[in-house]
Structure 1
Amino acid sequence: MAPLLRVRSVRQQDRARRDPRVSEFRFSPRPNRANEIQWRSWGDAAFGEAREQNKPVLLAISAVWCHWCHVMDETSYSTADIINVINDRYVPVRVDNDERPDVNRRYNMGGWPSTVFLTPEGEIIHGGTYIAPEPMWQALNGVDEVWSTKREEIARGVAELREKEAAARKPKSGELSADIVDTIGALVRGQYDPQFGGFGRAPKFPQVRLLRFLLDEYRRHGYPDLAHMLHKTLGAMAAGGMHDKIEGGFFRYATTREWNVPHYEKMLEDNAELLAVYAEAHRTFPEAGYDRVVRDVVRWMDAVLWRDDVKAFAGSQDADEVYYELDGAGREKHGAPFVDKTIYTNWNALAVSAYVAAADALADDAIEERAHQVVRAIAARMVVSPERQLMHFDRGEGPRVADLLGDWAAFLQAALDEYETGKHRPALAGAIQAATTMRERLEDTADGGFFDAPERAEPGRVALREKPIEDNALAADGLLR
């Protein structure tokens, strides 16, 4: 394998990105050669090409904020021999996780980047996450050999897997019971870390949904152990390295059990959900000081992610461990990390709900007004006529990807939250319209629940609709309100 080469400057990359063939793909901001790979967009054209040329597909799922995605661009995807093999023997497809959560849900291999080798029909042959240059070289040649010599075995394995998945997908109905809540409560207690707070060991994520569950259970029953778990976890996250004490906001997760070493990307989604949890915790425990955290998260979201030109929030801020390890003066000299200005419907809707909760907790009308601005922006920018499809994202080139369940469910919640402030009565009509459309386009009327997307022509596993439990839970909660 030829030596690793990383010779392209950021300015050269910017010029390369103006090439229409690669303009939609986003690579590491540091020097790399990943754009020399002849990436295709996800779609029928790429998979049709793979069938016509009898080549496997290399699917790369990345994210603009993802540190290890950048590293893979700078290492494996900047190695000359790897670039040549991919271009010669594969049909390479690159997908942005945030823009296509439906693709990510079906093909993610346990983290980002996800590196997935597929048949031309979109079935998985092999995969992993970050793969360093030497193992990547071996994987590329190994999959190519298997594809050339053992295609019938691959086909049999795919058929067997399809049968197992079909059996697993069969609906299993059951009765609603309070015992389900008790069972989940026992599981949450079992995962709780009594020494450092949070759940599990390392890496340690905020687990916002578990925290909301504990808040709800504490409000119902007032159990002291639930209050202790909440205070221990919320306090540890706010005091630890996952919380940016200088600029505000939270990093995505901690790499250590003690919360002291973060992974440095900052996401609108995570901060919106954490803002809502701390706002609700302040309402429940008004003497605990969580209001300071609420103000701190709002400070960062307003300063860094807010886009006054569109009255909505940008998607994320890049991971830059050099920058975040500096003090305030050092950061000012270094320059802030890249902000992805893409507008994502579901994340902005989560931000609406969080700002409504924060405004209520702090009695701050200005925060509530910002929430109202975002609701109006979603309705004006992301709802497309004449079918009134709710689009998932807009990078500035027009909204794309229609009618995902996560977007409809979050927008329904946001409209209801707006209505329940008592200041925006027309929001109820918007909520009713959202609920009606979500049911018409996504409900499984035969077996219950909601599919993650409408019926549509998509390659591979994306053609098979799924029922993600998190989005279904959010949808059900909105309908119950």
Structure 2
Amino acid sequence: MTDGTRVEWRDWGAAAFEEARRRGAPVLLALTATWCGDCHEMDARTYGEPRIAANLNDGFVPVRVDVDRHPRVRERYNVGGFPSTVFCTPDGNRIAGAGFLGPDGMRQVIDSVRERWDASGMDAGRVPRALAGDPTPAGEVTGRIEEHLAGQLDAQFDDEFGGWGDAPKFPLPRTVEFALKRDRAKARQTLDAVTRGLFDEAEGGFYRYARTRDWGDPDRAKLLADNAALVRAFAHAYCYTGEDAYRRPADRTVEYLIDALWNGSAFGGSQGPGADDTGPRTDLTAYADANALAVDALLVLTSYTDADDPREYARRTLSTLREDFVDDGTVRHWDGEAAPTLVLDDQAHTVAAGVRAAQVLGDDDALSMARRVADRTITELAGDDGAFRDGPASGPGLLDRPLRPLDGNVAVADALIDLAVLTGETRYREVARDAVAAFAGAWDRFGVQVAGYGAVAARLRRDPLTITVAPGAGSDLHRAALRVADHEAVVVPGATGPDPGTAVVAVGDRSRTVSTPADLADAVAALAA
């Protein structure tokens, strides 16, 4: 495998590590992405240099890893961005790691790794602390989690330029959603700054992040997952404010995704900046997690606007996920024989897409899919401590080491809370609580970047706002239920409990039966107070 360089790349897999054992040689892992401009530059400048390529081919087993195709490898070997240049033992333990390396830097690292390998052999590697198998910091799910993270909204906010933290600036859409219910002014200021700094006015869509504190000098890659999350955040802001300033970027981004990333049955993963006179580098591979995020976002937008395109493309994408990616509850990361399966993000976001489709479209098949995927996720990935692993405890390199990502646990817990309401099965909520409790002992160390954890912890401490609608999806009452000013409310359309033509608004054991959209709005305001 040459991939445009002089290095004899191997594919990620057991065969490469077995070769390294036979040869008694270290492994070079080059973590790259189609959308990564620095990765392409390193290919040309460093891996294209004949002597470096010869050294790597002779003394190492070079393995190229597309991080979008192999997310679990990305999480274990990423050294702070891409490209990541990681040398490891044939067992997968890290010897050394760096980011972008020019020719001189690569020569120095090669010499250093050779010295360590010659001196220590397999003992030259180490296992990162996050993969050591230590217990998660368990604790009780209390109100202090939400209080702490709500305080971080203020403590870490950039009053001058919007957003949280210093350079580089990331949009943090889940943090924005957390803020929409707790400090809307900061959420709005951030979305306004994101629009000015990261929104592509010419083509539509959002860039990944800004390199400067004032949201300047953006990294011009556009990823489906990032754009889907921002469509959802902007749509929620539109629901709360009714202002076109938040609907317009969401609508334009949907247009961009359809024009640039639609591959005929689902959305491709990314579009990177062009090089010289070439057009942008587009990866039209459909990844399950990002497409499930897109389904969720498109349906949120259409529930607030009745727009046709988001609804239609959500339906098409959901159909592709159900038919080509999900097999009896197991989700395939991309549609190929070598694709990993049972990746936590794929499983979690597919459950979320299914429960969203059940609420917005009244899609019973989507709800059944969500239940099957949730059950398989719980059976295969939930540990005795309640936390979910990021995938199966097997595979080459460090894949057999347990990794319990906080973001992935937040995503699956959030989806399970909705699934519990829609199915009436409280066990899903109990599993969600266990997953959140598995990290609750570290609540005081969490920053605003993981505010989503505070949101799901708060949901577990309160009775959910549920709206059970007797008419089917698309009725006036159903549409009104979807548009209540609480993006965490759960809507159950086509229910048999309420009398025909009515809806039941409930919070815990308090409820009201209503028959008009106006009465529904009044009931929500009264019960949510």
Q: CA RMSD in A?
A: 1.9
Q: Which residue does the alignment assign to 1:314?
A: 268
SS in 1 for 2:403: coil
Report the CA distance between 1:307 and its aligned residue.
1.9
**Identity across aligned pairs (percent)?**
35
Count of equivalent residues = 418
For 2:372, which of 402, 412, 433 is the aligned residue? Answer: 433
Matched, 1:78 2:35: no
Q: 1:132 to 1:48 in 2, by over 3 A?
A: same
Deviations 1:74-116 (A, max 9, x none): 1110111100100010011111110111011011011000000
Report the Cα distance in structure 1 between the residues aligned to 2:243 and 2:74, rounded to whole angstroms.
41
Q: 1:243 to 1:280 in 2, by over 3 A?
A: same
For 2:314, which of 342, 361, 371 is the aligned residue? Answer: 371
SS in 2 for 1:250: coil
Q: 1:194 to 1:419 in 2, by over 3 A?
A: same
Report the Cα distance in structure 2 between the residues aligned to 1:127 and 1:379, rounded to whole angstroms.
39
Q: Which residue does the alignment assign to 1:326?
A: none
Q: 1:430 to 1:153 in 2, by over 3 A?
A: closer
SS in 2 for 1:249: coil
For 2:331, which of 390, 393, 397 is the aligned residue? Answer: 390
Taking the TM superposition and a 5 Å limit, the aligned residue runs for 1:238-387 are 238-240=195-197, 242-287=198-243, 289-308=245-264, 311-320=265-274, 336-384=279-327
Report the CA distance between 1:337 and its aligned residue.
1.1
Deviations 1:323-347 (A, max 9, x none): xxxxxxxxxxx66312111010000
Gaps of 5+ in 1: 1-20, 28-32, 219-225, 323-333
Q: 1:57 to 1:417 in 2, by over 3 A?
A: same
Q: Which has the higher contact order (CA 8 A, sep 6+)?
A: 2
Read off the aligned partner of 1:423 and give its amino acid letter: G
Instruction: Identify the range of structure 1 (265-274 vs 41-50) with the bigger mean alpha-carbon deviation.
Output: 41-50
Taking the TM superposition and a 5 Å limit, the aligned residue runs for 1:31-42 are 33-34=4-5, 36-42=6-12
Report the Cα distance in structure 1 between the residues aligned to 2:240 and 2:411, rounded to whole angstroms.
22
Matched, 1:182 2:147: yes
SS in 2 for 1:312: coil
Report the Cα distance in structure 2 between the residues aligned to 1:181 and 1:353, rounded to whole angstroms.
24
Query: Any conservation in 2 of the 1:264–1:320 contact (CA below 8 Å)?
Result: no
Report the Cα distance in structure 1 between the residues aligned to 2:110 and 2:8, rounded to whole angstroms.
15
Query: Any conservation in 2 of the 1:72–1:131 contact (CA below 8 Å)?
Result: yes
Q: Which residue does the alignment assign to 1:406?
A: 345
Q: Which residue does the alignment assign to 1:462?
A: 399
Instruction: Identify the range of structure 1 (171-180 vs 95-104) with the bigger mean alpha-carbon deviation.
Output: 171-180
Report the Cα distance in structure 2 between the residues aligned to 1:96 and 1:263, rounded to whole angstroms.
19
Query: Any conservation in 2 of the 1:315–1:343 contact (CA below 8 Å)?
Result: yes
TM-score normalised per structure 2: 0.76
TM-score normalised per structure 1: 0.83
Query: Any conservation in 2 of the 1:392–1:399 contact (CA below 8 Å)?
Result: no
Instruction: Identify the range of structure 1 (230-239 vs 407-416) with the bigger mean alpha-carbon deviation.
Output: 230-239
Read off the aligned partner of 2:59 and give its amino acid letter: R
Matched, 1:228 2:169: no
Q: 1:154 to 1:178 in 2, by over 3 A?
A: same
Query: Any conservation in 2 of the 1:381–1:399 contact (CA below 8 Å)?
Result: no
Q: Which residue does the alignment assign to 1:205?
A: 170
For 2:24, which of 54, 63, 66 is the aligned residue? Answer: 54
Report the Cα distance in structure 1 between the residues aligned to 2:16 and 2:322, rounded to whole angstroms.
33
Report the Cα distance in structure 2 between the residues aligned to 1:350 and 1:170, rounded to whole angstroms.
30
Report the Cα distance in structure 2 between the residues aligned to 1:41 and 1:337, rounded to whole angstroms.
25
Matched, 1:452 2:390: yes
Q: Which residue does the alignment assign to 2:90?
A: 120
